[in-house]
Amino acid sequence: MKYRVLVSDPLAEEGIDILKEFCDVDVNTGLTENQLVDIIGDYDALLVRSGTEVTAQVIDAGDKLKFIGRAGAGVDNIDTEAATRRGIIVANAPEGNTLAATEHTMAMMLSLARNIPQATASLKKGEWKRSKFMGVELNDKVLGVMGFGRIGREVAKRAQAMQMKCIAYDPFITKERAASLGVEMVPLDELFRRADVITVHTPLIKETRHVINTESIATMKDGVRLINCARGGIIDEEALAEAVASGKVAGAALDVFESEPPAGSPLLDTDKVIVTPHLGASTVEAQKNVAVSVANQCISVLEGGSAKYVVNAPMIPAEQQAVVEPYAMLAQKMGRLLIQLTEGRLESLEITYGGEAAELPNTKFVTRVILKGMLDPILQAPVNMVNAEFVAKERGIRMSETTTEEAQGFKNIISIAAKTDRMTESVSGSVSGPDHARIVSIGGYMTDLTPTGHVVISRHTDKPGVIGKAATILGRANVNIAGMQVGRHKPGEEALMVLTVDSVVPADAMDEIKKIDGIHTAKHAEI
Ligand SMILES: NC(=O)C1=CN([C@@H]2O[C@H](COP(=O)(O)OP(=O)(O)OC[C@H]3O[C@@H](n4cnc5c(N)ncnc54)[C@H](O)[C@@H]3O)[C@@H](O)[C@H]2O)C=CC1
Ligand SMILES: O=C(O)C(=O)COP(=O)(O)O
């Protein structure tokens, strides 16, 4: 059956064409939330731009939904937490419109400095007012860039070409990185104090909401100019309107608004503020880029693969794949085995990465794989790389992740210790090559087990006859034993037996094994 994809905002034809090769595509724009809720249950994927609010209600109604794609950068119109809870991958196309937004910012800055939109409107009205539209030069002025990500950096590069002095604030970018581009990183209050023009390029998050407000504007230079081509709400619009009216702010250029469209905003009534209707990404080139990117990611996810720009799950970058993948495969098997060996309600998990495993670039990814391996068999709802951690947290499972140089005689080791309300159990494994991994201990007993197929694992008193009786029972049940290992600490004490078998062990045979004199516990597991 073909997958069904709903496109609820205008998407470039190039993207739609890619989707149509693999999916049934419906383009249905301008839907209300209720209309979307009514139809979303029929679709496997939803593709949007900034025009669709993908709320928790929409997501919860998307019974078949596996992928939400954002043909652009900002995902603030998507309830990613709700998607994560439901195991839906959210991905964006953050690179495709960087240059479009950058060039729009430059256009806004130049228009603001030289009053181009106002002068155009005036001349078209039949006026010829040359002195009214006296401008300022950008040459030698200080540009303050708040948010030094993709767009912020490209804006700075272009501003430097116009001989502006660029300073930037971004708590997540190092001074060295900025210095390599000739940009001085400064604290935010210094940026506000020193800049002649301030342009914001951050996401709208708690920390950036109304960061430009009455108080911060008061610390800026008289006659400062402000630009927002990022997200409405980073600048407090009421404070801006007042500061423009008082003359503190000489002018502002806005592409985005707290509410879009910004009907009734006083910012639309003043000539000192120039505006565009969220056009930052609106170039032919950018729209083609983002549509193609998100369409390809959508198909990849629907076909069981991964997406390049997942917003709500850790993915392994291509360059780390070869190193991380063997550990991830082992980890999932270890998780699966461990959950089958435990009884009771899972309370905590301690995961230790030792030796070379501690150096992995992405232990968080491997930890999620362990969780998926453990939780998938026991939960009704699908557990995947998107929601594994969330599901564990929701179920109150305490998690700890430790790294250590110690690898217990192996080059690398992953150990998982699980505690339930009834018992503790542990499993360790080691990777010895791209396709070669072993379970090296269970419950503290050494083993050497290829993590695949069916096993019977039992604890028994180390005395003659116990193993033979178990083998006889399996033989009678027509279960072939492919391998056997016994681990013990001291002769005569408790021992652990691992039997690899070629097929499922019938429940009555397992019951018989559990009743053998000397057997303490016995479990059948499929790894
Ligand atoms: N007007 C439009 O049509 C478009 C708007 N955008 C918006 O532009 C903004 C920037 O986009 P990109 O550069 O692609 O994103 P990005 O993720 O590459 O850069 C954002 C930067 O903001 C920084 N940041 C986060 N919190 C911060 C804080 N509290 N203070 C200062 N910096 C902080 C991050 O470290 C990051 O470097 C986003 O809000 C995006 O949605 C993007 C494309 C088109
Ligand atoms: O990519 C972004 O963050 C944008 O704001 C672009 O929005 P749009 O796709 O033009 O609705």
3-state SS of 284-319 is HHHHHHHHHHHHHHHHHHHCCCCCCCECCCCCCCHH
pLDDT of residue 380: 61
pLDDT in tens, 83-139: 988 889 999 999 999 999 999 999 999 999 999 999 999 999 999 999 999 999 999
Q: Is there a catalytic annotation at residue 278?
A: yes
CA 480 to chain centre: 45
Residue 287 Cα: closest atom of ligand 2 = 9
From the candidates 49, 104, 153, 231, give the one annotated as an active-site residue: 231
pLDDT in tens, 267-304: 999 999 999 999 999 999 999 999 999 999 999 999 98
**What distance in angstroms lies between residue 72's CA and the mean position of ligand 2's atoms?**
5
Rounded average pLDDT over 32-38: 97
51 lines ligand 1 (CB under 6 A): no
Distance CA 132, CA 129 (A): 6
**Looking at the predicted structure, is the pLDDT value of residue 246 above 70?**
yes
Residue 256 Cα: closest atom of ligand 1 = 1
281 lines ligand 2 (CB under 6 A): yes
Q: Following DSSP, what letter does each residue of 221-279 receive, concatenated?
A: PTTEEEEE-S-TTSB-HHHHHHHHHHTSEEEEEES--SSSS-TT-GGGS-TTEEE-SS-
3 state SS for 478-500: CCCEEEEEEEECCCCCEEEEEEE
**Looking at the predicted structure, is the pLDDT value of residue 318 above 70?**
no
pLDDT of residue 376: 78
Q: Mutate which of 7, 48, 50 to test ligand 2's pocket (most atoms within 8 Å of Cβ)?
A: 50
Ligand nearest to the CA of 257: 1
70 lines ligand 1 (CB under 6 A): no
pLDDT of residue 221: 98
pLDDT in tens, 366-401: 999 999 889 877 776 667 777 888 888 878 889 999
Percent of the chain past pLDDT 90, that is, above it, reads 83
Structure tokens at 463: 């005395």
Q: Is there a catalytic annotation at residue 209?
A: no
**Looking at the predicted structure, is the pLDDT value of residue 317 above 70?**
no
Model confidence at 434, pLDDT cuts 50, 70, 90, reads confident
Residues 6+ apart with CB under 8 A from 257: 232, 237, 265, 267, 278
Q: Is there a catalytic annotation at residue 231?
A: yes
Distance CA 253, CA 121 (A): 16
**Looking at the predicted structure, is the pLDDT value of residue 429 above 70?**
yes
**What distance in angstroms lies between residue 183's CA and the mean position of ligand 1's atoms?**
17
User: Does residue 261 have a cis peptide bond before it, meaning omega lies within 30 degrees of 0?
Assistant: yes
201 lines ligand 2 (CB under 6 A): no
79 lines ligand 1 (CB under 6 A): no
pLDDT of residue 322: 85
pLDDT of residue 103: 98
**What distance in angstroms lies between residue 137's CA and the mean position of ligand 1's atoms?**
27
Distance CA 199, CA 170 (A): 13
pLDDT in tens, 151-183: 999 999 999 999 999 999 987 777 888 999 999
**Cβ contact 453:502 at 8 Å:** yes
pLDDT of residue 381: 62
173 lines ligand 1 (CB under 6 A): yes
pLDDT in tens, 410-425: 999 999 999 998 899 9
Residue ID of nearest Cα to ligand 1 atom 40:
74
Name the pairing type of β-strands 424-433 and 454-461: unpaired
Residue ID of nearest Cα to ligand 2 atom 10:
281
**What distance in angstroms lies between residue 29's CA and the mean position of ligand 1's atoms?**
26
Residue ID of nearest Cα to ligand 2 atom 9:
49
**Cβ contact 170:179 at 8 Å:** no
Determine the residue type at 416.
Answer: I
pLDDT of residue 314: 65
Structure ipTM: 0.99
**Looking at the predicted structure, is the pLDDT value of residue 364 above 80?**
yes
Find which of 92-96, 243-247, 310-314, 399-403 is predicted with most confidence, using mean pLDDT.
Answer: 243-247
Structure tokens at 12: 């470039």
* Closest by Cα among 230, 249, 229 to 238: 249
**Looking at the predicted structure, is the pLDDT value of residue 66 above 90?**
yes
Average of per-residue pLDDT values in the chain: 94
Helices (H), 73-213: 80-85, 98-114, 116-124, 150-161, 175-179, 188-194
230 lines ligand 1 (CB under 6 A): yes
**Looking at the predicted structure, is the pLDDT value of residue 349 above 90?**
yes
Model confidence at 23, pLDDT cuts 50, 70, 90, reads very high
**What distance in angstroms lies between residue 190's CA and the mean position of ligand 1's atoms?**
20
* Closest by Cα among 377, 359, 362 to 313: 362
**Looking at the predicted structure, is the pLDDT value of residue 306 above 90?**
no
From the candidates 260, 343, 359, 394, give the one annotated as an active-site residue: 260
Ligand nearest to the CA of 188: 1
Residue 281 Cα: closest atom of ligand 1 = 3
Percent of the chain past pLDDT 70, that is, above it, reads 98
pLDDT of residue 155: 98
Pick the range with the lowest mean pLDDT from 63-67, 216-220, 249-253, 315-319.
315-319
Q: How far apart are the first and last CA of the chain?
A: 31
97 lines ligand 2 (CB under 6 A): yes
Determine the residue type at 484.
Answer: M
pLDDT of residue 492: 87
Model confidence at 358, pLDDT cuts 50, 70, 90, reads very high
Give the residue carrying structure tokens 């999916």: 23
| CB neighbourhood size of 318 (10 A) | 8
Model confidence at 54, pLDDT cuts 50, 70, 90, reads very high
Gyration radius (Cα) of the chain, Å: 30
pLDDT in tens, 193-202: 999 999 999 9
> Which residues sit opposite 224 in a β-bridge?
249
- Phi-psi region at 182: left, alpha or beta (left = phi > 0; alpha = psi -120 to 50): left
**What distance in angstroms lies between residue 197's CA and the mean position of ligand 2's atoms?**
23
**What distance in angstroms lies between residue 278's CA and the mean position of ligand 1's atoms?**
15
pLDDT of residue 382: 64
